[in-house]
């Protein structure tokens, strides 16, 4: 059985920026071809070896711009699917060439023989730079990069590091300032606010359910009842199993706040429109007569809504999302990308208490990969992290930083203006990178406005690029 402290750790793994393992068939448009680019495995020290990087590419007019999605932590097909605004609207509108570049170590862009050594954002940005040079129809083609979430961080990093290769960047829901939140309180707090704002009692109902489970942790006589209510694939035999169950339920609520779109959406699982509102109604139904078993049955309904969307699960794999930790995303969060994520209970949040502990995290990284996190790496390399971005990004230009007010990652996003050359856009009632998704009749006015400002900036950047070229 898994030791207790290890279980506590692993709960954090389920909190990825993007839900993975999308089971839906991915329809890639017929105008997109799959291209492969052979890149140096090690652009920096020139260790021998190459890596093949997958690109989805749609050829546009030779005189039109090149739009590039800077791929993040998953198969590039997934980000193609979540970036419908670029695929279906912007690309065709500008008659642009559009490329979705896969991030090395994800999807089908895996090095062989395998070693973790060449997984770093510097190597990734160099892949992007090199591939963009080859894809440009001509020297004068304006290039705009787009990214959501970690992909948005890469889009912003790319403009900062390679301004000569890219005329502007749309960085949507990019939590570049996450390390400033040293105790990692913001994610759980914003998620909790999403539930509170739908209905005052909703937060209380959910918190109450977690208190009941907390109470059962050291009461083994309740374990059989828990099994009957929650139908876990593993039997509940010890404290760690109850904690894992709590983390599983927490994951469902947190996923829904990240994906609280106003219409049904499928991001690694089909959710109804406004899933936070839907789950508040469920919790309210099951909380009416203040019966603790009823409250837990509300949680079971939530699990069913989020995890059993196919309707064919025979049990719930409460340890399933956790894996061994030996995956590329954990490696990245163990080296360059520090995301403090903690839960503290009331008044910070409604979730079971799981404080962020940097020392424990670093110890785990040492154990898993033999590496130490470098919290100063992103701040120094990209000027984004713990420093005041007004100072470190004083000369940055042509970047839009957008964030949604519902998005738990929003706490790590740039929310205040930096300078006149960059733009910060808050999207009221927007979840995680809503602006990049396919426009929908149920979109709030705020995202329609955000997209129109982004288009205005893109036009300005394209104008600047053409002017610059005309001068030579």
Told to check if 95 binds ligand NAG by CB under 6 A, we report yes
Told to check if 26 binds ligand NAG by CB under 6 A, we report no
Structure tokens belonging to residue 369? 């990969």
- Give me the least distance between CB of 29 and ligand NAG, in Å please: 15
Which residue's CB is nearer to ligand NAG, number 197 or number 284?
197
Give the separation between CA 168 and CA 161, rounded to whole angstroms.
12
Which residue's CB is nearer to ligand NAG, number 183 or number 284?
183
Told to check if 218 binds ligand NAG by CB under 6 A, we report no
- Provide the sign of the torsion angle of the four alpha carbons 419, 420, 421, 426, taken in this order: positive
Which residue's CB is nearer to ligand NAG, number 367 or number 417?
417
Told to check if 31 binds ligand NAG by CB under 6 A, we report no
Among 380, 417, 421, 442, binds ligand NAG (CB under 6 A): 417
Residues in the chain: 472
How many residues lie near ligand NAG (CB under 6 A)? 26
Q: Which of residues 37-76 bind ligand NAG (CB under 6 A)?
A: 60-62
Q: Where are the beta strands (DSSP E) in 226-346?
A: 265-266, 270-271
What b/e sequence results for 70-89 when a residue is b if at least 16 CB atoms lie within 10 Å of its CB, and e otherwise?
A: bbbbbbbbbbbbbbebbbee
Structure tokens belonging to residue 336? 């360059």
- Give me the least distance between CB of 33 and ligand NAG, in Å please: 14
Site string for ligand NAG, 239-268 (x = CB under 6 A): ------------------------------
- Provide the sign of the torsion angle of the four alpha carbons 256, 73, 155, 339, taken in this order: positive
Among 235, 390, 421, 459, binds ligand NAG (CB under 6 A): 390
432 is catalytic: yes
Site string for ligand NAG, 127-166 (x = CB under 6 A): ----------------------------------------
Alpha carbons within 13 angstroms on the beta-carbon side of residue 450 total 29
- Using only C-alpha atoms, the chain has a radius of gyration, in whole angstroms, of 22
Contact 261, 273 (CB under 8 A): yes
Task: Determine which one of 109, 149, 173, 287 is catalytic.
Answer: 149
120 is catalytic: no
Element containing residue 464 per DSSP (H, E): helix 445-471
Give the separation between CA 244 and CA 387, rounded to whole angstroms.
36
Give the separation between CA 203 and CA 200, rounded to whole angstroms.
6
Q: Of the candidates 298, 343, 295, which has an alpha carbon nearest to the alpha carbon of residue 181?
A: 343
Among 65-73, 82-90, 151-159, 306-314, which window interacts with ligand NAG (CB under 6 A)? 306-314
Contact 68, 144 (CB under 8 A): yes
Task: Determine which one of 43, 207, 432, 433 is catalytic.
Answer: 432
407 is catalytic: yes
Task: Determine which one of 194, 255, 407, 443 is catalytic.
Answer: 407
Among 31, 115, 133, 419, binds ligand NAG (CB under 6 A): 419
Among 138, 139, 289, 312, binds ligand NAG (CB under 6 A): 312
Told to check if 290 binds ligand NAG by CB under 6 A, we report no
Q: Of the candidates 239, 213, 181, 221, which has an alpha carbon nearest to the alpha carbon of residue 375?
A: 181
Name the residue whose CB lies closest to ligand NAG: 61
Which residue's CB is nearer to ligand NAG, number 165 or number 344?
344
Strand-pairing partners, residue 449, are none
Which residue's CB is nearer to ligand NAG, number 34 or number 183?
183
Structure tokens belonging to residue 101? 């570049």
Catalytic residues: 149, 407, 432
Residues in touch with ligand NAG (CB under 6 A): 23, 60-62, 95, 182-183, 197-198, 231, 274, 277, 304, 308, 310-316, 390, 416-419
């Amino acid at each position: 059985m898994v030791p207790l402290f290890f279980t506590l750790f692993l709960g954090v793994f389920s909190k990825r920026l993007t839900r993975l393992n999308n089971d839906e068939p991915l329809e890639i448009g017929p105008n997109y071809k799959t291209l492969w680019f052979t890149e140096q495995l090690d652009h920096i020290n020139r260790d021998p070896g190459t890596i093949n990087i997958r690109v989805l590419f749609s050829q546009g007019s030779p005189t039109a711009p090149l739009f590039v999605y800077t791929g993040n932590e998953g198969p590039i097909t997934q980000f193609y699917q979540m970036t419908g605004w670029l695929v279906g609207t912007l690309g065709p509108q500008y008659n642009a060439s559009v490329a979705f570049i896969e991030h090395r170590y994800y999807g089908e862009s895996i090095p062989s023989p395998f070693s973790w050594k060449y997984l770093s954002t510097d190597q990734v940005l160099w892949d992007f730079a090199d591939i963009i040079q080859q894809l440009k129809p001509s020297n004068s083609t304006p290039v705009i990069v787009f990214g959501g979430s970690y992909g948005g961080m890469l889009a912003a990093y790319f403009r900062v590091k390679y301004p000569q290769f890219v005329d502007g960047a749309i960085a949507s829901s990019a939590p570049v300032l996450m390390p400033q939140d040293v105790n990692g309180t913001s994610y759980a707090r914003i998620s909790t606010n999403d539930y509170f704002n739908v209905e005052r009692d909703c937060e209380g109902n959910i918190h109450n359910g977690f208190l009941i489970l907390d109470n059962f942790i050291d009461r083994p006589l309740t374990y059989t009842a828990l099994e009957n209510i929650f139908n876990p694939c593993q039997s509940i035999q010890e404290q760690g199993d109850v904690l894992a169950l709590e983390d599983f339920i927490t994951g469902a609520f947190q996923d829904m706040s990240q994906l609280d779109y106003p219409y049904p959406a499928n991001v690694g699982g089909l959710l109804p429109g406004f899933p936070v509102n839907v789950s508040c109604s469920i919790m309210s139904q099951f909380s009416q007569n203040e019966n603790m078993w009823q409250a837990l049955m509300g949680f079971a309904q939530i699990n069913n809504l989020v995890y059993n969307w196919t309707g064919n699960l025979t049990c719930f794999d409460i340890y399933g999302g956790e894996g061994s930790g030996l995956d590329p995303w954990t490696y990245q969060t163990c080296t360059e990308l520090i995301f403090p994520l903690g839960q503290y209970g009331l008044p910070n949040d409604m979730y079971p208490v799981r404080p962020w502990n940097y020392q424990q995290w670093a110890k785990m990284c040492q154990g898993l990969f033999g590496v130490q996190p470098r919290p100063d790496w992103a701040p120094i390399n990209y000027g984004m992290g713990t420093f005041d971005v007004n100072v470190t990004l004083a000369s940055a230009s042509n970047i839009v930083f957008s964030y949604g007010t519902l998005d738990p990652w929003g706490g790590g996003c740039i929310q205040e203006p930096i300078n006149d050359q960059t733009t910060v856009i808050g999207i009221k009632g927007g979840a995680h990178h809503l602006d990049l998704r396919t426009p929908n009749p149920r979109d709030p006015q705020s995202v329609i406005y955000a997209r129109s400002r982004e288009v205005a900036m893109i036009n300005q950047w394209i104008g600047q690029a053409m002017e610059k070229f005309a001068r030579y």
